[in-house]
Structure 1
Amino acid sequence: MYTTPAAILDVALQKAEASIVQAIVTDLSIAEKIDYVSRYVGNRAVVRLLLACSLAAIHRSDVDIRNPYTEIGTSNAYSGRYYDESYITAFINKHELPCNPTTAFLTPALRNRNVTLTPVINLVGRPPKLYQAALELLDDVHQGKISAEEMLAETIRCLIIARNEKRQRMETLLSDLKKSEGAMPLSAEEIITLLKQHLACRGSSRLPVMIVAAAYQVAEQYIGERFFPLKSHNAADEQTGALGDVEITLVDDQKVITSYEMKTRRVTVEDIDRALQKINGTGKRVDNYIFITTDVIEEGIREYALSMYDRTSGIEIVVLDCISFVRHFLHLFHRLRSQFLEAYQQLVLAEPDSAISQPLKEAFLALRQTAESAREF
């Protein structure tokens, strides 16, 4: 029998790769549910639930696959989070499988549970159909309709196919972009239009961070300032000790002089007050605290931010429109506009899919290819 969870995963991977063109699971309805959970782009955590629970059920024949919580208190319960964090994380990272980067058991639907995960349980997760499919699959294993070994291998097989398809799409999009090399570069205003289109896409809240970071990256040698490595998109500032989403320092220095906080809604008085609390709480005295918003800026908010200069003895707090910010930058550093676009693209593509989804990355490449192709005529 298997000696370690890592060995179980290796065997499942080999089985998945050997059967890549044909489903391992013969029951069509079960195979379809596994494929649905594995491929659902909008929530990449639930597939980790299947991986972790399947792994545990294979490693420990005495457990009930539906009981991934030690809090249940029965002898057949186990810690799904342990298997997820200890083995699944390293496995999916090594093989670049399209899963959530962190454990499924800390997501709102799955944390703090102490009940058997049967199909009648309402996990209050979105979309409900996805969680229902996962619960049914766990029950299918429990009822003996499919083995845990089969479910683990089939899930990995579906993930490998999804990974390969993703790679092929990206290669095609990047190849299409290369065909435009040598043509007249996009103008500053054409880049602005491209960014507007990208910001209008669903799930774009992380993009203003990429815009500001790209601007500082290409202008670093000219302004003598750089940005600190970006923090995780889902890490609270209180946890990281950061003042905002992008922190700026002088080149060859470690002191934060400017902090940017991004909003995809209107900035409020409460936002400004919280910024002051963070400044006071961290002990970091900055020169500028800048809000970047993609929404309307109310005049009263501008005035309230302005009033902070005297109240803070010299810290300027300002609220800027995202597009106005990048427009001014691109015209101020007009000769860097192409480098800015490349830097933005690289930052976007380098972000984990949990921060900037794969469809959003592909959307940018497609939008850019359309814009640059139009330049050829």
Structure 2
Amino acid sequence: MSTKSETASAAFTNVITGMSIKAARPEVDVRFHQVQIQKQTDRPAGFNFRGVSEKIIYPWLSRNEFNGAKSGWQTRTLERPKPYFLEYDENIGAIKDSFLSIYDELEIGGCNAREALRFALYKQIELRAKKKITIAEPKTTDISTIVSMLTEHFSAEYKNKGASRLPVLAFHAIYAVLTREMQRFNGMTLKPLEPHSAADSQTGAIGDIEIARADGSIFEALEIKHGIIVDATIIEHVKRKLMDKAVDRYYVLTTHPSGEKPGLEKELAAIQSRLGCQVIVNGVYRSLYYYLRLLADPSSFAPEYASLLKHEKAVSFEHREAWNKIAVG
């Protein structure tokens, strides 16, 4: 379960919740995780485990940089009103046997819940230590080589989510250098990245990357799509973001090989004419060539990218390790 705790984070959080409750309340049959099914046991908890998971377990896991989901009951297969018996017939996934075996051991096998929890957290400490690896900072100034490395990093096959965040990190790293070097950005500030899971409506952001004027208004912004073709719907969404803003330039970049659907030129021209913002649609990889040419030293983006990779919560050890392998050849 610990090995799969990144890819099966909800099930892992569920198990940690069950073990925690069992350690604190040994008399409770933790297989009966919902109030509505606890009439079936003479050892009910009297509460739904989901609330404990969301209010106590996940925040604690997150604070300690352990793997976990916002709820151990966030998938339908885990929240069915059925006890977690070995014959539980929902499709939990590849960890089903481990998941159900743990609950069975807690109730039938005489497992010590406190020791089981201690061991599970020990394995998380090991995984956390592996995440804190040194991130490679390639020194090459050859732009083609840099773009090739980034292309491989973005497009590799990963078991864990987070690949869509990588192009955002790369462009943020480049802008960290650009805002120091280019006169166009004198007096401007590159805003920190918002959490990957945060919606624009919650943060007030108009793009994945934003450069702000001294008064806090957005001067330039980038929206980066991963594997999504830019169409009229996306442009309409951009237009709505810009309606009450004084943005000078807005880039919509995508890793999709086709880039954009034809016929967007008229709408882009209308946005510039009516809202005063130049909206530029382009491919991520072509744009990388353009931006890297603007840097006095193309390799200067690498320390910035490494720092973002190291601290970004949306990417996993797998993405960091992949970059190291690519960067050192």
Tell me the TM-score range normalised by the shorter chain.
0.7 to 0.9
Among 156, 174, 177, the alignment partner of 2:121 is 156
Query: Which of 151, 160, 174 pairs up with 1:196?
Result: 151
| Contact 2:31 2:83 (C-alpha < 8 Å) held by counterparts | yes
Structure 2: 5+ residue stretches without partners: none
Report the equivalent of 1:61: 26
Which stretches in structure 1 are left out of the alignment for 5+ residues? 1-36, 371-377
Residue 287 of structure 1 deviates from its aligned partner by 2.9
8 Å Cα contact 2:229-2:261 kept in structure 1: no
Within the candidate set 174, 194, 197, 1:215 is matched to 174
Deviation by residue 1:239-283 (Cα, 9 ceiling, x = unmatched): 322222222212x33112333221122112111122233445xx4
Cα distance change, pair 164–208 in 1 and its aligned pair in 2 (3 A): closer
Relative distance call for 1:277 and 1:313 in structure 2 (3 A) is closer
Give secondary structure in 2 for the equivalent of 1:129: coil
Aligned partners of 1:70 and 1:77 also within 8 Å: yes
1:22 is matched with: none
d(CA) in 2 for partners of 1:108, 1:342: 42
Equivalent AA in structure 2 for residue 346 of structure 1: S
CA distance 1:303–1:130, change in 2 (3 Å): same
Q: 1:279 to 1:67 in 2, by over 3 A?
A: farther
How far apart are residue 297 of structure 1 and its match?
A: 2.1
SS of corresponding position for 2:240: helix
Q: What is residue 50 of structure 2 aligned with on the other side?
A: 81
**Deviation of residue 195 (structure 1)?**
0.8
Mapped to 1, the partners of 2:236 and 2:175 lie a distance apart of 26
2:275 pairs with 310, 313, 329, which one? 313
Alpha-carbon displacement from aligned partner over 1:43-66 (angstroms, at most 9, x marks no partner): 333222111111112212343212
- Distance change >3 Å, CA 202–CA 146, structure 1 → 2: same
Contact 1:247 1:256 in 2 (8 A): yes
Secondary structure at the aligned position of 2:275 is classed as: coil
Residues 53-202 of structure 1 aligned to structure 2 (within 5 Å): 53-70=18-35, 72=37, 74=39, 75-89=44-58, 91-93=60-62, 95-97=64-66, 99-100=67-68, 102-107=70-75, 109-110=77-78, 113-125=80-92, 128-167=93-132, 170-171=133-134, 174=135, 185-202=140-157
1:345 counterpart = 2:306: yes
Output the aligned Cα RMSD. Answer: 2.8
Asked if the contact 1:192/1:327 (under 8 Å) is kept, the reply is yes
Contact 2:177 2:300 in 1 (8 A): yes
Distance 1:104 1:187, change over 3 A: same
2:308 aligned counterpart, secondary structure: helix
The 1-side partners of 2:130 and 2:12 are apart by 17
Q: How does 1:182-261 map to 2 (within 5 A)?
A: 185-203=140-158, 204-221=163-180, 222=182, 223-224=185-186, 225-250=188-213, 252-261=214-223
Code of the residue aligned with 1:286 in structure 2: it is V
Q: CA deviation at 1:118?
A: 3.1
Could you list the structure 1 runs, at least 4 aligned residues long, displaced by more than 6 angstroms after superposition.
none
Give a deviation string over 1:213-247, Cα, whole Å, max 9, x none: 11211121232333322112122222322222222
Contact 1:85–1:103, Cα closer than 8 Å, also in 2: yes
In structure 2, distance between residues paired with 1:108 and 1:273: 33
Provide closer, same or farther for how the CA distance between residues 122 and 234 of structure 1 changes in structure 2, counting only shifts above 3 A. farther
Task: Say if 2:242 and 2:275, in contact at 8 Å, map to a contact too.
Answer: no
Residues of 2 paired with 1:304 and 1:100: CA distance?
A: 46
Identity of aligned residues (%): 24
Asked whether the equivalents of residues 247 and 258 of structure 1 are also in contact (C-alpha less than 8 Å), the reply is: yes
**Which sits farther off after the overlay, 102-111 or 260-269?**
102-111
- Relative distance call for 1:95 and 1:237 in structure 2 (3 A) is closer
1:275 maps to which of 238, 243, 250: 238
- Specify the SS of the correspondent of 2:31: coil
Tell whether the 8 Å contact from 1:201 to 1:360 is kept in structure 2 after alignment: no
CA distance in 2, matches of 1:245, 1:123: 37
Could you report, residue by residue, the CA deviation over 1:130-160 in whole angstroms, capped at 9, with x for unpaired residues? 1442133213312234232232122123223
* Counterpart Cα distance in 2 of 1:200 and 1:331: 22
Q: Confirm or deny: 8 A CA contact 1:191 1:341 kept in the other structure.
A: no
Shift of 1:91: 4.1
In structure 2, relative to structure 1, the CA distance for the partners of 1:71 and 1:136 (3 Å cut) is same
CA shift in 2, pair 1:273/1:132, >3 Å: farther
CA spacing shift, 1:110–1:227, aligned 2, 3 Å: farther
TM-score by length of 1: 0.73
Does the residue aligned with 2:164 lie in a helix, a strand or coil? coil
Kindly indicate whether the alpha-carbon contact (under 8 Å) linking 1:261 and 1:290 is maintained by their aligned counterparts in 2: yes
CA contact (8 A) 2:178 2:294 kept: no
Q: What is the aligned length? A: 314
Q: 1:369 to 1:277 in 2, by over 3 A?
A: same
- Give the equivalent residue in structure 2 for 1:46: 11
Tell me the distance in 2 between the aligned counterparts of 1:298 and 1:258: 21
